[in-house]
Amino acid sequence: MPTRASSSWFARPVSHWVGPRVLAALVLALCLGLTYGAWRNADDASEQQVQADFDFRVRELVNNIVGRMQTYIQVLHGVQGLYASSQEVTRREFHAYLAAQQVDRHFPGIHGIGYLPLLSGAALARHEAGVRADGYPGYAVRPHGQRDWHAPITYLEPLSESNLLAFGYDIGSEPVRRAALEQARDTGQAAMTGKIHLVQDGGSAQAHGFLVVLPVYDNGLLHGSVAQRRAALRAWVFAPFRMGDLMAGVGGESARQLDLEIYDGAQLSEAALMYDSLPGALSSAASDSLVSRQAISIAGHAWTLRVRTMPGFDGELLARPRLVAWTGLLASIVLALATWLLAAGRARAQAALARSSELTGQLEQGQASVLAMAEAAQRSQAMLRSILDSTIDGILVDNIDGRIFTSNRRFRDLWQVPDALDWQADGAALVRHVESQLEQAAPFLGARTHAPHGHRERRDVLHLRDGRVVEQYVRSMQLGNEQARLWTFRDISERSQMERREHTRRQVLEMLATGAPLERVLESVVLSVQADHPAMLCSILLLDESRHRLVLGAAPNLPAFFNLSSHGHDLDTLQGVHGIAAQALRDGLRVIVGDLHTVADAQETMELAWRAQLQSCWAEPVRGGSGKLLGVLMAYHRQPTLPGAAHLARLSEAAHLAGMAIEQAQVALALRAGEARFRSLYDHAPVALWEQDWSAVRAALDALEQAGVRDLGAHFQASPDALRQLAGLVRIIDANGAALAQVRANEDDQRRGALSLAQNFDDSALPRFGDALLALAGGAHLFECESSFVRLDGAARQNELSLLVMPGHADSLDFVMVSSLDITERKRMNAELLQLATTDFLTGLPNRRHFMASLENEHARLQRELASCASVLMLDIDHFKRVNDEYGHAVGDAVLRHLGALMCQALRKVDVPGRVGGEEFAILLPGTDLAAAAVFAERLRRRVAESSLTIDGGIVITITVSIGMAAMAGTDADCDAVLARADEALYRAKRGGRNRIEQNDGGGDGVLSKFMAQ
């Protein structure tokens, strides 16, 4: 019987295996293609990110260098301000100022800060002698030789061992340094030398550096022009820098794996190389693909920076494409193998019908997915369009050929694109439409011609003919495989107008504050309006005092004949273009004539306008703060035109500023008349008045606050020299006749600056000046105190002072008015009266009244401080009546004086002695208990007993004393209680044999111990 052949694996047809292999090959090819695309995108993104990271680090490095140098130049400006605020800065003051700044701690890279006086050849010997006398006997200006002028290093802080090498070096003797000195002298700004070797480095040729210098001018001379600056130059302040120290830590972490080279000037040559962060063989390994060359200017001198990357720069980003490639390759192989195995398995496991059904289901599922993706894409596109149309910026997208892809509604509204313009089909027509609205189309056309590449962007500001200002940004972007540009436009008219108005307002206010003439202020207002609108010519016409005539205030760019035709004419007689100004003043309203040809009888009345080539005119009334008409601001154009909203706002602001200037000038006239009256009263006032300038003191206090000093009182106590230095900064501006008479001075002494703060506070009264300074700096407007001063004839006197902060300077503490009253005689009389009232005339000790007052004060202290203690001693001379009877009362008085002197020798400063009766004395010992008082009393008793008094005739008299002691307590009812106890102990000592000490603690017998004479 026939048999069915077995189904062998190798017996199947070849066509059965073609499908799985081809499918696997397609999957492999597709995956490899996707892997290649992913690798390319990762590689491009890595390169772009590396370039962006490199650019960012370069910008940060350059900004750090420029910022550090600007900070150091500001330090020099502070030293320049020190010299500007003083006619003479001593070496000690220079050292104290820079020590407070702590330059070497806070400003790394500065090798020191020095002072260079400008010396002629004739003054060189005198200068050397002065420095030698100042404590530097070996000082000499070098190199030797006669030159037109010298600039030796006279002050240099900190005066370290290396800086001593430069001490006395004449910077003007070397051409590179001399060029920087001359540049600073002529410009009045900071100047920097080229590449030099610092004198401080000795003979080292490896270290390169440079100097930064600032001029110091004579404040009493003008220095507005080059000639004036040369004539007013007094000295320079300078700072030497060593490149290695300056660049240490500048880049920080961002400079990692970067090779920085700094060249002097624009050439990259070995001779110009000032600094190399990786010198020698390390620098040769730097990359030549990532290189940035930056040109910077510091203090008028150019540097060129070349920055290159070192191997390993952002290696992690560059390794990412390789990881993507290897991952994609392995995934492709695995997916292809899985596809082949799956297809082969399905071919073996399923029949052709099942395979067809499965493929049909997969196809339907794919179609559904495609439809869903299409719907999602439509929704995303609609959402993107809604977002674009809702932005506040106008957006335009085109390619480098000018073909426009899309724009939003804000762009079309901003540029007023008509609906009839087919901008998508004709991009050139849209460009022409935008160009027609611009005053200058060069920035817009330049952005189209020179579009930025990569991640860079370009910014331009566009000015429209209607007065609007638009900010334009252009960025490069990739749309699929095509390079495109993204244009962003934003209307910044309001912000630009506010900035211009604020600038003009600040400029006018500064001129008003400095007392500039009205003509200059009005001219500044006119020029600012013309600068905002170049096609506009402006003038300001003012009403005279009669308010019937016009006078010219400012018209810097109008013809002279045109200006003279309105100056001094009556309002009723003005016609033509000037009649428009008269109309605006009569009506008090703005007048706009867009075309002067439309005015009736234009040919006859507008002859002046035709001669000046003017076609339109706008008139804006100028009012004061109260609304009073002061004049009119006229704006003219050479073409017929009407003003936009921006023009009208600008004219209104300019008219407001002009009104402020005019009112300020009128107030200034009235103020000068009032000042003359006040000056007369000031000069003839019976009270001594002093006007003082404290601005330098305020600046020094600000410097102390910035240096971290918070408690000024503690600072002055710890550093008395700081208070003395602040006192030296006070400048006497003026003094009336009574003040000059008080200090024995005259007007010549005042003019030559002989008066100083010593005529209010002398050296012994500096603590009172410190109290006044703390009070006024703390916000007080008035401070009163007693002080001592020195007259110009050298006599020391006492006075009573009232310091009043000048009105308007309460916050800044710039000017202080001082009234002084000489109270020397009154103080002397009061002291004499006090001496008479509190002192025993015979012994010179405090009398009973004074002693009792001290006893009451000590009793009050013990009541407050219960843990404290005090003791009272009562003394009586033994057998004093016998001395008077034998030798007379004169000898008795000498004995009393002798005892008083012995008592004073044994007392502490806090102890209070007193004569309370004829031969009775008392001593108050604060803070002393009975045991310590007993030791003191015994020592005093022995001293009295062992001493002797020799009187006339050679007679030697010895005396003894009896002493009674008692402890003083806060629980006593009054101070008489302790006196009673001490007196009881004294009488006990008398009864016990005299020349002894008894104590009374208030017990039964009252005797605690006895000290008998041996």
Q: For residue 397, which of 408, 410, 406 has the smallest C-alpha distance?
A: 406
Kindly tell me if the per-residue pLDDT of 150 is higher than 80: yes
Could you tell me the CA-to-CA distances from 857 to 23, 275, 401, 798, 862 in Å, in that order? 115, 75, 101, 29, 9
Could you tell me the CA-to-CA distances from 221 to 120, 189, 226, 592, 730 in Å, in that order? 19, 17, 13, 49, 21
Highest mean pLDDT: which of 322-331, 408-417, 663-672, 847-856? 847-856
Nearest-angstrom CA–CA distance, 407 and 415? 12
State the Cα torsion 278-284-287-293 to the nearest 10°: 60
Residue 429, pLDDT score: 83
Least confident of 612-621, 837-846, 858-867: 837-846
983 or 39, higher pLDDT: 983
- Give the pLDDT confidence of 361-372 residue by residue, as tens digits: 787 887 787 787
Q: Distance between alpha carbon 747 and the CA centroid of its chain, in Å?
A: 39
Kindly tell me if the per-residue pLDDT of 775 is higher than 80: yes
Could you tell me the CA-to-CA distances from 6 to 9, 12, 13 in Å, in that order? 10, 11, 14
Residue 1010, pLDDT score: 41
Q: Using an 8 Å Cβ cutoff, are 619 and 591 in contact? A: yes
Angle at 728 between CA 724 and CA 730, to 5 degrees: 125
Phi-psi map region of 999: left, alpha, beta (phi>0 left; psi -120 to 50 alpha): beta
What does the pLDDT average to over 800-829? 83
Q: Give the number of residues written for the chain.
A: 1014
Can you read off the two tokens belonging to residue 28?
A: 């492999």
- Give the pLDDT confidence of 736-766 residue by residue, as tens digits: 888 888 888 888 888 888 888 888 899 889 9
Nearest-angstrom CA–CA distance, 960 and 947? 9
Q: Give buried/exposed letters for 927-958 (b at 16+ CB in 10 A, else e).
A: ebebeebbebbeebbeebbeeebeeeeeeeee
Q: Distance between alpha carbon 996 and the CA centroid of its chain, in Å?
A: 75
What does the pLDDT average to over 92-104? 80
CA atoms within 13 A on the CB side of 866: 1
What does the pLDDT average to over 75-79? 86
- pLDDT band of residue 652 (cuts 50, 70, 90) is confident
Kindly tell me if the per-residue pLDDT of 390 is higher than 60: yes
Q: For residue 311, which of 253, 261, 257, 251 has the smallest C-alpha distance?
A: 257
Q: Tell me, what amino acid is at 471?
A: E
Q: Using an 8 Å Cβ cutoff, are 393 and 488 in contact? A: yes
Kindly tell me if the per-residue pLDDT of 840 is higher than 80: yes
Peptide bond into 143 cis (omega under 30): yes
Residue 521, pLDDT score: 85
Q: 814: Cβ–Cβ under 8 A, 6 or more apart, which residues?
A: 693, 694, 695, 698, 806
Residue 369, pLDDT score: 79
**Alpha helices in 218-267, H assignment, sequence order:** 226-232, 243-247
Q: Give buried/exposed letters for 300-316 (b at 16+ CB in 10 A, else e).
A: ebebbbbbbbbeebbee
Provide the β-strand partners of residue 475: 457, 486
Catalytic annotation, residues:
919
Kindly tell me if the per-residue pLDDT of 155 is higher than 70: yes
Instruction: Say how many Å lie between the first and final Cα of the chain, rounded.
Output: 165
What does the pLDDT average to over 860-873? 90
Can you read off the two tokens belonging to residue 349?
A: 């496991």
Average pLDDT score, the chain: 82
Q: Look up tokens 């006078």; give the residue.
A: 551
Q: Give buried/exposed letters for 507-536 (b at 16+ CB in 10 A, else e).
A: bbeebbeeebebeebbbbbbbbbbebbeeb
Nearest-angstrom CA–CA distance, 681 and 127? 47
What does the pLDDT average to over 494-507? 70
Residue 989, pLDDT score: 92
What does the pLDDT average to over 594-616? 78
Q: Report percent pLDDT > 70 for the chain.
A: 89
Nearest-angstrom CA–CA distance, 698 and 726? 9
Can you read off the two tokens belonging to residue 756?
A: 């100083």
For residue 940, what is the enclosing H or E element?
Answer: helix 930-946
Residue 254 per-residue DSSP state: G
Angle at 76 between CA 73 and CA 77, to 5 degrees: 90
- Give the pLDDT confidence of 911-963 residue by residue, as tens digits: 999 998 888 999 999 999 999 999 999 999 999 999 988 888 788 889 999 99
- pLDDT band of residue 10 (cuts 50, 70, 90) is very low
Provide the β-strand partners of residue 279: none
Phi-psi map region of 806: left, alpha, beta (phi>0 left; psi -120 to 50 alpha): beta
Q: Look up tokens 């211009």; give the residue.
A: 500
Walk across the sheet containing 1010-1012 and list its strands: 912-915, 920-926, 870-877, 961-968, 996-1000, 1010-1012
- pLDDT band of residue 318 (cuts 50, 70, 90) is low
State the Cα torsion 388-393-397-401 to the nearest 10°: 170
- pLDDT band of residue 284 (cuts 50, 70, 90) is low
Residue 256, pLDDT score: 66
Least confident of 8-12, 602-606, 705-709, 991-995: 8-12
Kindly tell me if the per-residue pLDDT of 356 is higher than 70: no
What is the reported pTM?
0.36
Q: Look up tokens 């499965």; give the residue.
A: 358
- Give the pLDDT confidence of 164-202 residue by residue, as tens digits: 888 889 998 889 999 999 999 999 899 999 988 888 777
Long-range pairs, 664-669, Cβ under 8 A, ≥24: 664/512, 664/521, 665/518, 665/521, 668/515
Residue 316, pLDDT score: 63
Residue 790, pLDDT score: 92
Query: Residues 885, 887, 891, 896: is their CA dihedral positive or negative?
Result: negative
Kindly tell me if the per-residue pLDDT of 21 is higher than 80: no
CA atoms within 13 A on the CB side of 313: 28
Residue 188 per-residue DSSP state: S
Cβ neighbours around 354 below 10 Å, total: 11
- Give the pLDDT confidence of 542-578 residue by residue, as tens digits: 888 888 888 888 888 888 888 888 888 888 888 888 8
- Give the pLDDT confidence of 230-241 residue by residue, as tens digits: 888 989 999 998
Residue 215 backbone dihedrals phi, psi, to 5 degrees: -80, 150
Q: Is 401 strand, coil or helix? A: coil
